[in-house]
Structure formats: structure tokens, C-alpha cells
Amino acid sequence: MIKALIFDVDDTLIKYGKKRVEQSAVEAIDLAREKGMIIIVATGRGYRFLHRDVKERVQADYYVTVNGTCINSKFGTTIACYPMSEKTVDKLLDICYQRGYSFGFKFDDSLQVYADYPYFTSYYCNEAITQDTIDDNTATRDYHLTHMLPLGCFIYSPDREAMNLQQQFEELVFHPCYLHGCECSRKDVNKGITLKRLVESLGLSLEQCMAFGDAGNDRELLQMCGIGVCMGNGSESLKEVSDYVTTDIEDNGIYNALKHFKVI
């Protein structure tokens, strides 16, 4: 029996570039909550960068953020983190500086840009993420020394050539992102692995979870849960490993899937 529902954010709950969760998804989640379902959001975003509408209308019980490298409570407080090693961070810094990449580190409480803040924010910001939410650390480049080691790194490079760094970092996994960006985090940590830790601490198993996603960083999440649902607008590779492909995000995808499996 399904007891917990897990949702990716971009292109699953909210169409990328928009600010509001699809109304049918909110209605479906409210119905599921009334039946006692635990609601969890699992996203590549840090808690600070979640859309206000997700926090206010989805009202998740827990958040698995920054691609599984952090767990936040319903109030946003950090429960657990899984940062990169100091050796890995130093190596990333050296390469990105030498090659002139614009990049920033993701932490549990912020995104700190370490090189070319204007360039980074000109591409990274959209309707949901504004420049004032991204911190400029280009002067001191020391947040990882004063706060904590980073959870992930977001890099802009010509023709997304930074994806080739995968060959030099066996301990990391690199994902292509919108436009010419890519991001990386620990290979041994992902949404699925961290979700397992979270739900087991709640006395549940992954078999009792139903997860929704649309992209490559949702793969482990959907494969590890009892039911993995890919949005109709999701990638073909994710559809191939999903238990069910629902309709498009803008065609009541979440509502239709929950109806199909008689969750609501």
C-alpha cells in the first residue's frame, strides 16, 4: 500500500519558467493528504530556491533537496547533508578557475557564485529565481571555508564542455542542465538513496512510495520506489525505466496518475 508520495519540481509540479504549481496537481495532493499520505518534494533545487507556491500550496512534510545531498524539514531547517570532500572541491576550484568557467557552489542555505557573477546570473535567473537570491562570493571565494563544504557545483562552459570533467572525477556525477550549464554532486548520493534514508527513519519502505519525475536526475528515484511515474513531457530514457507514463504536466499528469493507481 502506498503511504508516501514524492514529487520532483521543475516540469513535474511546475512547468519550467513558471511560478505556480499546476492546479490539478494541488487538488490531487490535497486529496492524497486527506487520506493520510506523507508528501515529500525531491528536487535539484536548494530549499531557498523552491518556488513560493510549492512551499505554500504543496506544503510537503519533508524536502529532499540539491539532488539528494540535503534533507530539509517542512519549515526548511536542515536535517542532514552529504557534501563533497575537501579534495574534490579543491580540484574543481583549480580547473574552473584555470579554464575561466562561470560557476557556483550549492550549499544547504544558498547558491554562492565564485566566478563571473553577472554572467552566471544572466543565464541562471528566470521568473522563479531572481538575482537577489543568488549570493556573490567572487571577492572572497571562501564560503566553503567558513560555512561547510559544498553539496554541488553548477558550471557554465562553452558548448557545455564541462561535462567532460566526468572523466576526471570518478566520485562525482555530472548532469547537463538548461542552456549550456551542467551540475555535479557526489556519485554515491542521489534522490533515491537519500529518500531511502528518510522514509526508513519514518518507519516506511521504498515499496510504500510512489514517485513522480521527468528527467535524468529522477532515474534512481523512480526505479527505487514501489511505483515510479514519468510525466508525459519527461525524457524518453526516463519513460523506459518507469512503471507508468502519465499525461503531460499541463494535461493533469499528476492527478491522472494518482487516479489511475487509485491513490485518490
pLDDT digits (tens, 9 = 90+) for 101-127: 999 999 999 999 999 999 999 999 876
| pLDDT of the residue at 126 | 75
| pLDDT of the residue at 216 | 86
pTM: 0.90
Ordered by start, the domain boundaries in the chain are: 4-81+189-260, 86-186
| pLDDT of the residue at 129 | 79
| pLDDT of the residue at 247 | 98
| pLDDT of the residue at 226 | 97
Contact 9, 238 (CB under 8 A): no
Which of 3.40.190.10, 3.30.1240.10, 2.60.120.10, 3.40.50.1100 would CATH assign to domain 86-186? Answer: 3.30.1240.10
Which of 3.40.50.410, 3.90.79.10, 3.40.50.1000, 3.30.70.1400 would CATH assign to domain 4-81+189-260? Answer: 3.40.50.1000
| Cβ neighbours for 174, distance < 8 A, ≥ 6 positions apart | 162, 163, 165, 166, 182, 183, 184
| pLDDT of the residue at 217 | 86
| pLDDT of the residue at 16 | 83
> Which amino acid appears at position 3 of this protein?
K
CB atoms within 10 A of CB 83: 23
| pLDDT of the residue at 17 | 79
Collect the ranges in the chain with pLDDT lower than 50.
none
